[in-house]
Chains A and B, each alone.
Chain A
Amino acid sequence: MEGNFWSLAPWGRGLGEGYFQYSDMNLHIAAQINSFLAALVLLTAFGMLVQKRVYGLIHLFAWQGVFLSLNTAIVGFVAGKHHLYISSVLTLSLKVVLLPYILHVLINRLRIRKEVETIVNIPMTMMIGIALVIFSYHLTAPVRELSNLVTRSTLAVALAVVMIGLLMMITRKHAVTQIIGFLALENGLFFAATSATYGMPLVVELGVALDVLIAAFIFGIFFFHIHTTFDTLDVDQMARLKEGD
């Protein structure tokens, strides 16, 4: 049965033409695993939305990276796009190992251990999150009708993850959590690219990965500066930046 995956790939047909549902049980299972991983990505996104502790947030972010990387590898396997394996490894090394490590070091250096403050209370944030999922499902419905990729149904999840990342950036006061929100948003974009078009070209993906890495370093430097100037990473403090205040 293994051979079927590879025999489909070189002609670039098969999945794109949508007959896999009837012809190949294995591909059906792969699609199921794909949607299950999509569900897990969504779950971790919600977990980050409601998590109060900074360490918990970082762990959830790392888990999201694991699911994302697995999902990318499976899509690459199903679609026969080998460059997705590179994206998958890149995701694994950057978003599961390196970025969480950098954030850990930052938090230890800056001694942030207390609970993260939220602007909106948590049950309310959950409700907004659910509304965002419904909204993105509605928004991507026409695309789902047009597309015939195996991953088409996960596009709604990807959009929801982007929006939840944005919501997290809005509802948190703390600079570190806002950055994690931003990284989660980027995860969502990456996921959207994999599910909508089987991934961006490799050059673009490498560029984005490098961007995120550089961004993380710049964030780190900024954190230090904000922390030394204001003695806190609460962004509310920056409202008092004006002269004569």
Chain B
Amino acid sequence: MNVYPFITEILQILLVLAISPAFVGWVRALKCWSQGRTTAGMLQPYRDIMKLFAKDVFLAENASWIFRFTPYLVFGTAVLAGGIIPMLSVDLPLSATADVIVLVALFAIARFFTTLAGMDIGTAFGGMGSSREMTIASLSEPAMLMAIFTISLAARSTSLSQIVQVIYSGQSVLRPSMAFAFLAFVLISLAETGRIPVDNPATHLELTMIHEAMILEYSGRHLALIEWAGMMKLTLFMALGAALFFPWGIDNSGSAAGAFLSLVFLLLKLAAGGVVLVLIETGLAKMRLFRLTEFLGSAFLMATLGMLSFFILE
């Protein structure tokens, strides 16, 4: 049996764990520069996580097992998702066991438990955040699945490795369905990772926060795990977008040099993706909550148009 894919798998999971705080630090630094502020440096997220791990956990009196269990589950699903998305190599053992629909379900499980934990303590903020999160989820998940079905139709498979290989070798660059799916994916990623038109990751203002409202009661290592998982989620969505729409550079030869090369490409893509994200975030203002139906509705529209144009035009 070939051991090499397993080594790549482990390396990739470690890589996701290691670079996601740096990626978030990069996005924050870019944002600071774009607004003319001094940055805390790209390493600040690492320091935050270290600090939180060193602190004591302070639990509310009526916290049930759901509240204590959620951080570990959220972190675990993020790590697992990091093993599924092809980043260093196409040939991943975990990628063969789980396709892209499982990936969406993994994110859904994490979200389900986060909302439960938000309501578990019984504070008003937790319940409000959970309610908002579920409103967004109910609109963004159909759109996400629709976008993924469009890509799967074009690649004739729901396995991520297969999709990457097909798009990699595909000669047609101008595919309307892929362009629509990409637009939809960008909109959905902004919603799923709680970035600016949907949610502001830097705010604790009670009227606007969504994700922060749910995790307001967490402290110590629980908060560290949830924050880390959030950073990983952002990195993973970037990596997923890169793998689905710009797969160039991902190794499919199965050699150490190839894996190193895909690491370089991955870092470049992440850096570029961070720039695009900051451009989107500085160009837009946060939306009112009730306008989100239109935002996510247009994501669904794009994804559906992508699927239709696959049948009509291709």
Q: Which residues of A contact B (CB under 8 A)?
A: 29, 32-33, 35-36, 38-39, 42-43, 46, 50, 122-123, 126, 129-130, 133-134, 137, 153-154, 156-157
Contacts and interface: CB of A to CB of B under 8 A. Distances in A.
A123 B172 contact: no
The CB with the most chain B CB atoms within 10 A, among A33, A42, A154, is that of: A42
Contacts of A29: 174
Interface stretch (B6-14, B206-214, B226-234, B291-299): B291-299
17 contacts: A33-B174, A35-B176, A35-B313, A38-B313, A39-B313, A42-B309, A43-B305, A46-B301, A50-B298, A123-B293, A129-B301, A130-B301, A130-B305, A133-B305, A133-B308, A137-B311, A154-B313
A126 B301 contact: yes
Nearest to B311: A137
Given A35-B176, A36-B179, A42-B305, A122 B312 contact: no
Interface of B: 172, 174-176, 179-180, 293-294, 297-298, 300-302, 304-305, 308-309, 311-314
A137 B179 CA distance: 20
A24 to B, nearest CB: 15
A36 B174 contact: yes
A138 to B, nearest CB: 11
A156 B310 CA distance: 12
Nearest to A29: B174
Contact of A153 (B293, B305, B313): B313
Contact of B176 (A36, A123, A133, A137): A36
B312 A156 contact: yes
The CB with the most chain A CB atoms within 10 A, among B175, B298, B308, B313, is that of: B313
Nearest to B297: A123
A153 B310 CA distance: 11
A137 B174 CA distance: 21
Contact of A157 (B294, B313, B314): B313
A144 to B, nearest CB: 9
Nearest to B180: A39
A159 to B, nearest CB: 10
Contacts of B302: 43
A118 B305 CA distance: 22
Contacts of B293: 123
Contacts of B175: 32, 36
Nearest to B177: A39
Contacts of B305: 39, 42-43, 46, 130, 133
Contacts of B294: 50, 122-123
B174 A32 contact: yes
Contacts of B313: 35, 38-39, 153-154, 157
A36 B300 CA distance: 19
Question: Closest 8 A-B residue pairs measured CB to CB?
Answer: A39-B176, A35-B313, A123-B297, A36-B174, A32-B174, A156-B312, A126-B301, A39-B309
Contacts of A126: 297-298, 300-301
Nearest to B294: A122
Nearest to B296: A123
Nearest to B173: A32
A134 B308 contact: yes
B297 A137 contact: no
B78 to A, nearest CB: 31
A43 B309 CA distance: 11
Contacts of B180: 39, 43
Nearest to A43: B305
Contacts of A46: 301, 305
B312 A137 contact: yes
Contacts of B301: 46, 50, 126, 129-130
Given A38-B176, A50-B294, A153-B313, 9 more contacts: A32-B175, A38-B313, A39-B305, A43-B305, A46-B301, A123-B293, A126-B298, A129-B301, A130-B301
Contacts of A39: 176, 179-180, 305, 309, 313
B297 A122 contact: yes
A50 B302 CA distance: 12
A36 B308 CA distance: 13
A201 to B, nearest CB: 27
A156 B309 CA distance: 10
Contacts of A134: 308
Contacts of A130: 301, 304-305, 308
A52 B279 CA distance: 24
A50 to B, nearest CB: 6
B298 A137 contact: no
Contacts of A153: 312-313
B77 to A, nearest CB: 30
A126 B309 CA distance: 16
